Chains A and B, each alone.
Chain A
Amino acid sequence: MITDAAPIVTARIGKPQSWTLRSYLDNGGYDGLRKALTMDPADIGQEVLTANLLGRGGAGFEAGKKWGMLRQAEPKYLVINGDESEPCTFKDHMLMEEDPHQIIEGTLICAYAIGATQAFIYVRGEFALGLERMSAALNEAYSFGAVGRNILGSGFSIDVVIHPGAGAYICGEETALIESLEGKRGYPRDKPPWFPAAMGLYKAPTIVNNVETMSNLPWIVLNGGQAFADLGIGRSAGTRLFSLSGHVERPANYEVEMAKTTFRDLIYDPKLGGGIRGDKQLKAFVPGGVSAPWFGPDQVDMALDQDAVGKAGSMLGSGSVVVMDDTTCMVRAAWRITRFFHRESCGQCTPCREGGGWLDKIMRRIELGQGREVDLDLLLDVCDNIAPGLGWPPQKTTICVLGPSIPSSIVSGIKMFRDEFLVHIKDGRCPFDRKAELSGRVEEALRPAGGAGSASALSSSGPPSMEGAFGAACGQRPMHGEDHELG
């Protein structure tokens, strides 16, 4: 059911000019900061611990606990992660465009609580309007005296800098984001020793928190951690913003009370998703970003509860739910997700860099009607090399979790829709995709990408062996980035 919990982070969205200081102040803006600045910083940390506020970026780590792990040394930095790039997640994008002052206020509360020297808000580069709204809001906040020197007369001073990214999924990973903020390629760092709380930006102790996490802080300070913890159940406290997309009547961001709301509510309630479009049936859904293993219709009554979803072998992750109806080709869906990870791999670790490419290539030939039955075992074997045991959460063979996330969609696909994979292989074509055949897209997609030198790219008659995949050009449709990725 939908509970009557009032929205927290979306309370102002929809109000006229919600992104301006005027509108923000008219609706209680900066009251949380004013109150926080009269409190002992340690007490704010305690309120956030009491609130059970789990990080809203994807990993779901307790925000209060993270702050408590900060190594006590000067300088200390606060970095806000607004690099939202997990496919089908679009909540932080909305928060940055529609309520930037709330993020700035939360950032200042956090900076005060942890005693930060300087704060940086890393905004995904592609969010041009988000960057403009965040920058305008920061200018307003400086003029208002809420940022900078002697904030609101409290004696507390801190500067905030809006930092644009430049297009790289991996920079949402906190250590890659720090590298990027240092002006480098977004290569994740090894943990240990590079736990940001101990050794982060410029090797200084650093807290990296998500935009939505920050957006909750003004409310928590004003209403108390217990009021937040009273919403939801147990560790899944408060409300949370879910990005609902795919084959639903009303795809959008919805803020609902955690744990008391189910996937069924989110997808079918007339005030939320409004059900599957047309007269179609639910085939499967992604419960928390494309890194997450899929759920089927039998799991639709599960609560939006971090631990329950974890126990069922997936995750709430970044809070994005993608609904796929019975017209969806699951091979194509899994292939598209695999291709994404392959393209976005930073290239540091072999299992991710090479394994992702092999999986992309095998998935591609199955979807395009060139697969073999042994390909299913081959897929699972490669997946097992990237994430041994194929469990969830996955075992790591790489520096960060991008690599071990690659198998999710393929393993889900084969587990739930093995017959559909087999039909592709037996019929030598995708049963869903007549248009592609008609338009000649299949032939084009089969053409090797690199011209000369890529003759070893997937050949329709080649053996399904590792050798065929090694060192071959990817053979996929050319896409932005590939032609200059390696100079």
Chain B
Amino acid sequence: MARLTAENVQRARQLIGLYPQTRSALIPILHIAQEQDGWLTPDGMAHVADLLDLDPAEVYGTASFYDMFFTHRVGRHVVSVCTNLACLINGADELLEHAEARLGVAPGGTTADGEFTLEEVECIAFCGAAPCLTVNWRFFGNIGNDDFDRLVEDLADGRLADDVPPHGTLNRVRRQVGLMAGAPVAPGHDDDAKPPQASAT
């Protein structure tokens, strides 16, 4: 672990190819690093810095600005309970308190078995189903205490494995083509150039 695997280096290089300037690929590549290890390890970030020809401090300083990037180890399931206004007035504080009791950790904490990290988050834009939460950024709405308990059991027993991939996996759909536009084409020109089929994430 830690340094990116050969396959992930390949994905990173394809991402770099999508942008006019290399550094633009930093955040998408950090998502790949987090997908690989579940969090951003110091070695992983140093490797990303190498790939982008950046100072590791620049990578760390950018990663730590963003809430979704973890620079410490977290659980396989990160449970993010929203407590912003629409959820607050629909019982989010009570839900968070129940979650603390059920998991036995305060927000920011990880269960001893490494299965769950609990966090309190700002609005996740699912307010029609308040109170709501995400697990590894998969959305669950209208969550009462019983729903929460059932959800935790289903996650622990692997019953939601298809819907909720391990923490860090964000986008499971890979980009199928690189940049294709290239030089301008004359209108009406039958352009047979086949798209390069390299797969970039």
Interface mask (A434-457 → B, CB under 8 Å = 1, otherwise 0): 011001010000000000000000
Q: Give bound CA distance, A245 to B90, whole Å.
A: 10
Residues A154 and B187 in contact, CB atoms below 8 Å apart: yes
Q: Give bound CA distance, A155 to B136, whole Å.
A: 42
Q: Give bound CA distance, A147 to B53, whole Å.
A: 31
Residues A169 and B27 in contact, CB atoms below 8 Å apart: no
B86 at the interface (CB under 8 A from A): yes
* Given A135-B173, A480-B108, also A182-B122 (CB < 8 A): no
Question: Which chain A positions have C-beta within 8 A of B23?
Answer: 182-184
Residues B62 and A337 in contact, CB atoms below 8 Å apart: no
Binds A, one of B5-13, B149-157, B178-186: B178-186
Min CB–CB distance B144 → chain A (angstroms): 15
Which residue on A lies nearest to B30, using beta carbons? Answer: A166
* Given A161-B18, A245-B128, also A166-B173 (CB < 8 A): no
Question: Which chain B positions have C-beta within 8 A of A183?
Answer: 21, 23-27, 52, 62
A107 at the interface (CB under 8 A from B): no
**Of the residues B52, B83, B107, contact of A478 by C-beta under 8 Å:** B107
Which residue on A lies nearest to B60, using beta carbons? Answer: A487
Q: Give bound CA distance, A118 to B175, whole Å.
A: 16
Residues A90 and B195 in contact, CB atoms below 8 Å apart: no
**Of the residues A75, A87, A142, contact of B123 by C-beta under 8 Å:** A87
Interface mask (A283-304 → B, CB under 8 Å = 1, otherwise 0): 0001000100000000000000
Interface mask (A129-169 → B, CB under 8 Å = 1, otherwise 0): 10110011011001100001110011111110111111111
Question: Which chain B positions have C-beta within 8 A of A131?
Answer: 170-171, 173
Q: Which residues of chain B (66-114) have a CB below 8 Å from chain A? A: 66-72, 80, 83-86, 88-90, 93-94, 97, 106-108
* Given A149-B181, A336-B88, also A243-B19 (CB < 8 A): no
Min CB–CB distance A101 → chain B (angstroms): 14
* Given A126-B134, A167-B68, also A479-B177 (CB < 8 A): no
Question: Which chain A positions have C-beta within 8 A of B67?
Answer: 166-168, 480-481
Min CB–CB distance B48 → chain A (angstroms): 11
How many chain A residues sit at the interface, stated as a range, is 35 or more
B160 at the interface (CB under 8 A from A): no
**Which residue, A131, A243, A344, A484, has most C-beta atoms of chain B within 10 A?**
A484
**Of the residues B27, B88, B187, contact of A333 by C-beta under 8 Å:** B88
- Rank and list the top 4 A-B pairs by shortest CB-CB distance, nearest first: A167-B67, A155-B187, A183-B26, A480-B119
Write the residues of chain A forming the contact surface with B, with a CB cutoff of 8 angstroms.
75, 84-90, 92-93, 118, 124-129, 131-132, 135-136, 138-139, 142-143, 148-150, 153-159, 161-169, 180-186, 202, 243-247, 251-253, 286, 290, 320, 322, 324, 328, 332-333, 336-337, 340, 343-344, 435-436, 439, 441, 477-487
Of the A-B pairs whose beta carbons lie under 8 Å apart in the complex, a sample of 30, sorted by A's number, is A87-B85, A125-B66, A125-B68, A127-B125, A128-B136, A132-B173, A139-B176, A142-B177, A142-B180, A148-B195, A149-B193, A157-B180, A164-B31, A166-B30, A166-B69, A168-B67, A180-B27, A183-B26, A183-B52, A186-B66, A245-B127, A251-B129, A290-B84, A336-B84, A478-B106, A483-B108, A484-B64, A485-B64, A487-B61, A487-B71
